Amino acid sequence: MRGYRSVLIVSAAVALAVCVTPLAAQSQLPRPSQLPPAGGPGGPGGPPQGQTQVAPAKPYKPVSITMPHAAADPSLDAFRKQLSDIASRKDRAALTAIVAPHFFVMGERGDKADKKKSGFDNLAAAIDLDATDGSGWDTLTAAAKDSTAEPLQQRQGVMCSPATPSFDDKAFEQLLKATQTDAFEWGYPNAPQVDVRGSAAPNAPVVEKVGGILIRILPESNANAQSPPTSLRIVTPAGKTGYVAAESVLPLATDQLCYGKDGSGWKITGYISGD
């Protein structure tokens, strides 16, 4: 399983690019700071279900976002540095020592952690720590580098990272209804201004810039899932289509690693995924 911004950018780009049957418009995207609701495929934030036609590109009222800030806790920063060092050395014993025994793995159907296994074993399964390509350790490295965090509302004292941007949920609901789209089709620029080009070529002329808002990403029926796209086709608020670099857009729903503090300091307490 992959997680975190540096890993999810490509996987989200692939999902958006190959998805030719997006969900019908939903009332609201579940925020990662909330535990995902029960439900199967086709539930909020889940994979597409059924055959639906892609809504045409049309103008939409921009929904502003506020980018998350770095967590203002020096002790959490120190813990992340410790985690980064452990991940760089692939030190299983040291990692075991900083994983809480009661580790949760939240998905769409609730806590998927195996209560008969240790916290470390549940973490290892959640991030595929034993993957031969080392991607599990890469996930931890990426998590340690992300300085943002937000509280998990249903678990007191738990902070989850990366934090997500804040925006008006009601305005987003209205946006989905007005555009006849699903929350899965929307993302946000990871910089104040992102270049929108006239074609998928990386050196194509810049026709517009977007930033600080939610943007619609159009699926591509001819995308090759084995070859991650380098660009994504988007719809600007004016209703025009253009292309942005794939790494310049982040998905609204993202996996998160969660931390909590006990008498001995910070621990890795859980993992939130969209599965």
The pLDDT profile of the chain, 275 residues, written as one tens digit per residue, is 444 443 443 344 444 444 432 322 222 223 333 333 333 333 333 444 444 578 999 999 999 999 988 888 999 999 999 999 999 999 999 999 999 999 999 987 789 999 999 999 999 999 999 999 999 999 999 999 999 999 998 899 999 999 989 999 999 999 999 999 998 899 999 999 999 999 999 999 999 999 999 999 998 765 555 567 889 999 999 999 999 999 999 888 789 999 999 988 999 999 998 66
The residue ranges of DSSP E strands in the chain, in sequence order, are 99-107, 110-111, 150-151, 159-161, 186-189, 194-197, 206-210, 215-217, 231-235, 241-245, 249-251, 256-262, 265-272
**Directed axis angle between helix 135-145 and helix 119-127, to 10°?**
100
Phi-psi region of 20 (alpha: psi -120 to 50; beta: other; left: phi over 0): alpha
**Residues 154, 67: Cα–Cα separation, whole Å:** 22
Question: What pLDDT score does 44 carry?
Answer: 35
**Residues 63, 41: Cα–Cα separation, whole Å:** 27
pTM score, whole prediction: 0.72
Question: What pLDDT score does 12 carry?
Answer: 42
**Residues 198, 206: Cα–Cα separation, whole Å:** 6
DSSP states along 145-206? H--B-EE-TTSTT-EEES---B--HHHHHHHHHHHT--GGGEEEESSS-EEEESSSSTTSPE
Q: Output the CA angle 14-236-49, nearest 5 degrees.
A: 40
The residue written with tokens 């995308």 in the block is 223
DSSP 3-state of 96:
helix
The Cα-based distances of 151 to 38, 53, 128 in angstroms read 21, 37, 25
**Residues 38, 55: Cα–Cα separation, whole Å:** 27
For residues 75 and 149, the answer to whether their CB atoms sit within 8 Å is: no
Question: What pLDDT score does 250 carry?
Answer: 87
Question: What pLDDT score does 60 carry?
Answer: 98
Question: What pLDDT score does 125 carry?
Answer: 96
